Amino acid sequence: MASRQTESTLNIALQNRTSSSNVFAYITGRAIDNNNALFLLQADGRTPYYPTSPGQTLSPLAVDCAIPLGAPGSSVTVTVPHLAGARLWFVRDGRLTFYLNPGPALVEPSVTNPSDPNIGLDWTFCEFTFNSAQLYANISYVDFVAALPIALTLTNTAGESRHVAGLPADGLDRICAALRDQHNRDPGVGWDRLIVTRNGGGNLRALSPNTARVQDPALFNGYYQPYVDEVWNKYTNTTLTVNTQASWGDVQARVVSGQLDFGGSIGTYSKPAAADIFSCSTGPFTPSGNAARDAVSARLAAAFNRSTLHKNPVQPNNEVPESYYQHQITNHYARILHEVNIDHRGYAFPYDDVGPSSGGDQSGSVFDPNPQLWTVTVGGGQAGSAEAPQGPRRFERSSRRRSWLAKLRKYLQRL
C-alpha cells in the first residue's frame, strides 16, 4: 500500500560508466521544505548549500559543489531533501562553472552562449522533482543531446523498479550521423546545423531545433508550412476531435475563415509556424492561463511535432508510436532521438509526454510515491533492469510544462 508521504530525504546512487576517472556531478533545485530556497549539494554529497544573494552579477559559488564519481565502474550515493525543479548535472574531463546573480538566482551552464565557460565541455543533465507525493524524474533532450548518455532506475520500498535505458555509449555519434543523412535528404533545411563539434573534431552535442534557433532565428523558417496547409485543408471538411484527458473531455474543431475553431472558451488557432511547433510555446501555442485551451494546445503541438495530425482526426487517443514521424515534414530531431534510444524513450520536445490514455509513453520518465533508491548511470551503461512496466501517471502534464517554460524564459533572458 502506498504511503501517504515520501520520506524527507532521498538516496541517489550515481554510477560512473564512462571511460574517465574525471567525472563530476552537481545537483541544483529549490528546497521545498526550506521556503523554496535555492539549493545546491556540496561536494561531499550530503551537505546542503543555500547561497545568499551576492552583491553583483556572475558571482562564483562560495563552496565546492562538484561531486566526484571516482574511477570507471564506481558508484557514489548522495542524499537530497525534497526539491522542486531540480537538475542532476554530469560533466566529464572538467568541472562546470555556475554563477550567482542577486536574488539569489543561479546562472546555469549554456549551450548557446559562446562566452559561457562551459560551452566546450562535455556535460549533460536529467531533471527531477522530489516532493511529499512522489519522485518524478526524466531524461530530457528538449534543449540538446550530449555525448554523455544517462540511464535511470527507480526502486521503491516494495523492491519494484522502473527503468529508462537512455542512449547507448555511441548514441550521439549515431544521432549526428542520422542528422547528416537527413540533411542529404533535405539539403536546404539545415538538420546538419544542429550538430556541434569539438575543437579539433568529433561530435560534442546536437541541439534541438528550438535551441538552435536561439543562435539562428531564421533556421527552419517556412519548413512546416506545407504540412500545416495540409492539416488545414483536411479539417476544412473533417471534424477534429481532441481529448483533453481531463474534465473537459472531448472538444471538436473545424477550420472556419482560416482558423481552427474549437468555439467556446477554447477559441481559435491560427496556422503555427515552425518556431511555434518546435517551441510548443509561441504563436497559437502561447500559454493562455486557460487550462482547457492549454490542454488542447499541448495535444496539437505534440501532433504537429510527430506529424500525425493530417491523418488522425482523434487526438491523441488514436495515436500509436509506430505512426509518429512518418511524414517527410516532421521533427526529425525527435524522430532520430527516439530511434537511437535503447528503449526509444526520452523527452525530445516539450510535450513529448502527451500520449493516448491507453498508454504508449515516449517521455523517458520514472516516478513512484514510495521511492527508496534512485540510480542514475552516466556513460551508456545500464542502471538496472527494464522489467517493470510504467504505471498510470500521478502528475499533471500542463503544470510541469509551465514549469519548463518558466525555466526557458529565464534562460533566454540571461543570453
- The pLDDT tens digits of the residues spanning 51-100 come to 999 999 999 999 999 999 999 999 999 999 999 999 999 999 999 999 99
Domains 9-166+364-414 and 225-337 share a fold: no
**Tens of pLDDT, residues 138-182:** 999 999 999 999 999 999 999 999 999 999 999 999 999 999 999
Average pLDDT over residues 347-371: 91
Beta strands in 46-132 (DSSP E): 48-49, 59-60, 67-68, 75-81, 83-92, 99-101, 105-107, 122-130
How many CB atoms within 10 Å of residue 177?
Answer: 15
Task: Report the pLDDT value the prediction gives residue 4, as an integer from 0 to 100.
Answer: 57
Q: Where are the alpha helices (H) located in 199-243, listed in sequence order?
A: 209-215, 225-237
Q: Is a pLDDT exceeding 50 seen at residue 386?
A: no
Mean pLDDT estimate for the chain? 91
Q: Is a pLDDT exceeding 70 seen at residue 44?
A: yes
CATH topology of domain 225-337: Metal Transport, Frataxin; Chain A (3.30.920)
Cα 363–chain centre separation? 8
Indicate the pTM of the whole model.
0.89
If we measure between CA atoms, which residue out of 151, 122, 150, 303 comes closest to residue 228? Answer: 303
Domain ranges for the chain: 9-166+364-414, 173-215, 225-337
190, 184 in Cβ contact below 8 A? Answer: no
CATH of domain 9-166+364-414: 2.60.110.10
Handedness of CA 55, 60, 64, 67 (dihedral sign): positive
**Tens of pLDDT, residues 69-82:** 999 999 999 999 99
Q: Is 410 left (phi over 0), alpha (psi -120 to 50) or beta?
A: alpha
**Tens of pLDDT, residues 265-309:** 999 999 999 999 999 999 999 999 999 999 999 999 999 999 999
- Spatial separation of the C-alpha atoms in residues 78 and 129, rounded to whole Å: 16
